[in-house]
Amino acid sequence: SELIKPYLGSKYKSTEVPKSLVFYMSKHGGPVNEIEWCPVREQSHMLLSASMDKTVKVWDAVDRGCCLRTYSCHSGAVRAARWSSCGRRILSGGFDSMLHLTDAETGKQIFSSRNEFRISALKFHPTESNIFICGGFSPEVKAWDIRTSKVLRVYKAAVQQTLDILFLPEGREFLTSTDAVSRDSADRTVIAWDFLSAAKISNQIFHERYTCPSLTLHPKESVFVAQTNGNYMALFSAQRPYRINKKKRYEGHKVEGFAVGCEFSPDGTLLVTGSSDGKVFFYNYHTARIIRTLSAHKEACVSAIFHPVLPSLLATCDWAGEIKIWQ
């Protein structure tokens, strides 16, 4: 991509808050659940999107603002889609309970498997590129190996649904956020797992009575953030016993039952989140103050993600099926 080439060799790092709309991309016929930039630097102009309209799309979101490919392998809403670390494959899962690994160039299925439950979260292992974790409407979370097309390990929790999955640095441990919130207790809302043994390390991490629709890891410090349905983001240590930081709360945006995503800027100075009122909120990570809000969408904005190489570029998506790129 021509726009990215000048930056590939440089140490261009400064994060600015995007203000102006570059591209308005609207080809999805239903809410967009998830977007992700391609992790390979030379292909980082490509943006992946998963939608309730049963499709996965790849966009040129830097140069042209157009849809490059549409993949229609699912018969139900696609809830999660992820790039493989090589950028040549796309993993997707949805409400049809199907898992597909698709060759991004040819559109052919490399691996397909029917799962026993509807899928709502997928994450590749950070260091073992052939392994991913799948969660959804089930008490179980599964680790799969795409080389054998088989389940490697099963992680069992007394919950009804897994909302998000987050690997901690090096991938020896991971977190799941769940819908397990009862009137008198909030244990199991966030669960920490040992990846290899499938043992539960802790389920006493977050004690407030809100579910956490998304989790995100700081790029440089050993902390993670949980988006909560209490209309705030909570900060935790990414090391045992994963204590909450009671002095910092990122509040002002609205979640209201939407699976609103949150993410750090590549340099870790900003925390960005969508909001159910269509806005995007930028927080100073250190002070937890709102730096700026962006009136991005008319419908709920469920994801806002910084470009990995061009930190002043931001992609957002919403419940009406729109994707926008901001500079």
Domain assignment present for 307: no
> Considering the domain boundaries, does residue 209 fall inside one?
yes
Contact partners, residue 166, CB within 8 Å, separation at least 6: 123, 174, 175, 176, 177, 215, 216, 217, 224
The answer to whether residue 232 is domain-embedded is yes
Q: How far apart are CA 282 and CA 270, in angstroms?
A: 6
Residues 205-253 have pLDDT tens digits of 998 889 999 999 999 999 999 999 999 999 999 999 999 999 999 999 9
Count of the separate structural domains present in the chain:
1
**Around 192, how many Cα atoms within 13 Å sit in the side-chain half-sphere?**
19
- Domain CATH number, residue 231: 2.130.10.10
pLDDT of 9 reads 43
What is the SS3 assignment for the chain?
CCCCHHHHCCCCCCCCCCCCEEEEECCCCCCEEEEEECCCHHHCCEEEEEECCCCEEEEECCCCCEEEEEECCCCCCEEEEEECCCCCEEEEEECCCEEEEEECCCCCEEEEEECCCCEEEEEECCCCCCEEEEEECCCEEEEEECCCCEEEEEEECCCCCEEEEEECHHHCEEEEEECCCCCCCCCCCEEEEECCCCCEEECCCCCCCCCCCEEEECCCCCEEEEEECCCEEEEEECCCCCCEEEEEEEECCCCCCCCCCEEECCCCCEEEEECCCCEEEEEECCCCCEEEEEECCCCCEEEEEECCCCCCCEEEEECCCCEEEEC
Residue 70 inside a domain? The answer is yes
Residue 219 within any structural domain of the chain: yes
Identify any residues that bridge with 316 across adjacent strands, giving them in sequence order.
304, 324
Which amino acid makes up residue 261? G
As a whole number of angstroms, the distance between CA 242 and CA 248 comes to 15
State which residues form the domain around 57. Answer: 28-254
Does the residue 69 lie in any domain?
yes
- 11 pLDDT tier (thresholds 50, 70, 90): very low
pLDDT band at 10 (very low <50, low <70, confident <90, very high): very low
pLDDT tens-digit readout, 21-39: 999 998 899 999 999 999 9
| 47: in domain | yes
pLDDT at 6: 44
- Residue 91 covered by a domain: yes
Q: What is the pLDDT of residues 64-104, one digit of tens each?
A: 999 999 999 999 999 999 999 999 999 999 999 999 999 99
Q: What is the per-residue pLDDT for 65?
A: 95
pLDDT band (50, 70, 90) for residue 185: low
Nearest Cα neighbor of 136 from 114, 158, 115 is 115
